[in-house]
Chains A and B, each alone.
Chain A
Amino acid sequence: EAGVAQSPRYKIIEKRQSVAFWCNPISGHATLYWYQQILGQGPKLLIQFQNNGVVDDSQLPKDRFSAERLKGVDSTLKIQPAKLEDSAVYLCASSFRPAVTGELFFGEGSRLTVL
């Protein structure tokens, strides 16, 4: 079974530029998450989708971050304009019954460096 796919794996940009990350979850997983993990910290939830609807985006900096999940499958996370503090790994995860099993399947992440 294919895992969660993310791209690009690495991205280096200058501050104030924009960047987009793509995620393809495991087939059949209705719940999709984007987490931000800064070096030395745990993953921080940015946004959670249930199918194509947003369940929680309370921690998403909406002045610069946006995310969508069209047709309830793939998702994109965009940052515009980027700041130095956005340097982090952006992890996409999907799950079938996360509240019960607690099992999120993570992609390998997209590592962003903002210069």
Chain B
Amino acid sequence: RKEVEQDPGPFNVPEGATVAFNCTYSNSASQSFFWYRQDCRKEPKLLMSVYSSGNEDGRFTAQLNRASQYISLLIRDSKLSDSATYLCVVNPYGGATNKLIFGTGTLLAVQP
């Protein structure tokens, strides 16, 4: 089983739609979780951290379910500019190693 798994998509949604991505991780001891965004032929950039209690940043909401070992990202009122690949990132071993494992990414295409 891969350490971090995501549905590769693509998710094709109209502008204004709400879309959600899930990501599962294999190591129950994983400590920290993040979502990155990668535009076509660009480098990945941090979108947001995922906190145990869930957190929101504008139209983006991230949630963590430790019992089921999955993370989710919800995007409300999708914009054309949200079209990108969304990468789930997990630190599986805690602060001592600073290791960050990336998922395959989920491709989102927002249509006009």
B-binding residues in A (CB < 8 A) = 31, 33, 35, 40-45, 48, 50, 55-56, 91, 95, 98-104, 106-109
Contacts and interface: CB of A to CB of B under 8 A. Distances in A.
B29 interface: no
How extensive is the interface on chain B, given as a class? 20 to 34
Contacts, number: 68
Interface stretch (B52-60, B74-82, B93-101): B93-101
B43 A91 contact: yes
A41 B104 contact: yes
B48 to A, nearest CB: 9
B91 A107 contact: no
Given A99-B94, A109-B43, A45 B49 contact: no
A101 to B, nearest CB: 7
Contact of B46 (A43, A45, A103, A108): A103
A50 B98 contact: yes
Contacts of A91: 43-44
